[in-house]
Structure 1
Amino acid sequence: MLAVGEPAPDFALPDQEGKVHRLSDYRGRWVVLYFYPKDDTPGCTKEACGFRDHMGSLVALGAVVLGVSADDVESHRRFAEKYGLNFPLLADPNKEAIAAYGAWGKKNLYGKEVEGVLRQTFLIDPEGRIAKVWRKVSPEGHALEVAEALKALRGA
């Protein structure tokens, strides 16, 4: 389980346009890396639209937002277009980054225990280290919560 202060695992994943993003591409910037279960589902849509709507304040704080799920590039493209998402959604169908960040595991879905992508967020500092982790995320208001934490960490 990744902890604050540890190096964030690098990855190379395509976004909704097919462009490959590596965590190392963002050295020198804050990165909001959030894992979510599935494109175009109620909670994931609420969370993604929250990041879309708070993008101005996150960018002003020097951060980029990267969403990751096990959905494919085409699913991400449809999801991003449908909701006007203004940040990369990274496709991880092989669950390599998802596993590296510990964002895969057992969860309850409609009263049944299933395995899947866990809704978690990692705030990564400009040196590539984990600065803050949210293990249990509530989609409602999460983007604002992340912006407030970033503001506090930056002393802004």
Structure 2
Amino acid sequence: MSERLQPGDVAPGFELPDADGAPVSLESLRGRRVILYFYPAAMTPGCTKESVDFQGALGDLDAANVTVVGISPDPPAKLAKFREKEGLTFPLLSDADKKVLESYAAYGEKKSYGRVVVGVIRSTFLIDADGKVEKAYYNVKATGHVERLRRDLGL
């Protein structure tokens, strides 16, 4: 597992397929601040809550020049179903081989119901317009996380 990212670090670059299979790169998002959030699995209760909360905050985030991007190991077809079912309008990216998750230290050992397991560590990163990490949140809770981000962004 990679070292945890800190504010000021250069955000690891990537190119991943979105829910329609089209490639999306971090480089293509330069010029805007980006919220990258890593979640374990589409269509599960916690991930649905977090994603729907991001969707609800999109108006304020967009007005603040912030783009939201969700990343999980789900295949594009599952992401497309998730997007349609929940009415999500921001990009959902597929990191099937977990290389991007690992580069952000968002995949590895974690505690789940008292046991140590290996999996996606729910994490969110605010990346500035130049591609540097502004904020790194690890082991976040699905509920209340978006509201905390909004407060941290002054929205």
User: Match for 1:80: what amino acid?
Assistant: R
Q: Match for residue 139 of structure 1? A: 142
Runs (4+) off by over 4 Å: none
In the other structure, the counterpart of 1:109 is 112
* 1:27 match: 30
SS in 2 for 1:137: coil
**2:85 matched to 1:82?**
yes
1:109-156 C-alpha deviation (Å, 9 max, x unpaired):
3343210010000000011100001112111121222122223xxxx7
How much identity, in percent, do the aligned residues show?
Answer: 43
Q: CA RMSD in A?
A: 1.2
Distance 1:99 1:27 in 2: 22
Alignment partner of 1:57 is 2:79 = no
Q: How many residues align?
A: 152
Paired residue secondary structure (2:9): coil
Deviation at residue 108 of structure 1 after TM alignment: 2.6
Aligned residue in 2 for 1:46: 49
Which residue in the other structure is 1:119 paired with? 122
Q: Which runs of 5+ in 2 are unaligned?
A: none
Residue type at the aligned position of 2:76:
V
1:56-109, Cα deviation, whole Å (9 max, x unpaired)? 011011000000011110110111111001111100001111011000111233
The TM-score with structure 1 as length reference comes to: 0.93
Q: Secondary structure at the match of 2:71?
A: strand
CA distance in 1, matches of 2:90, 2:144: 18
Distance 1:110 1:135 in 2: 17
Match of 1:52, as an amino acid?
Answer: Q
Corresponding residue number in structure 2 for 1:94 = 97
> TM-score scaled to structure 2, two decimals?
0.94
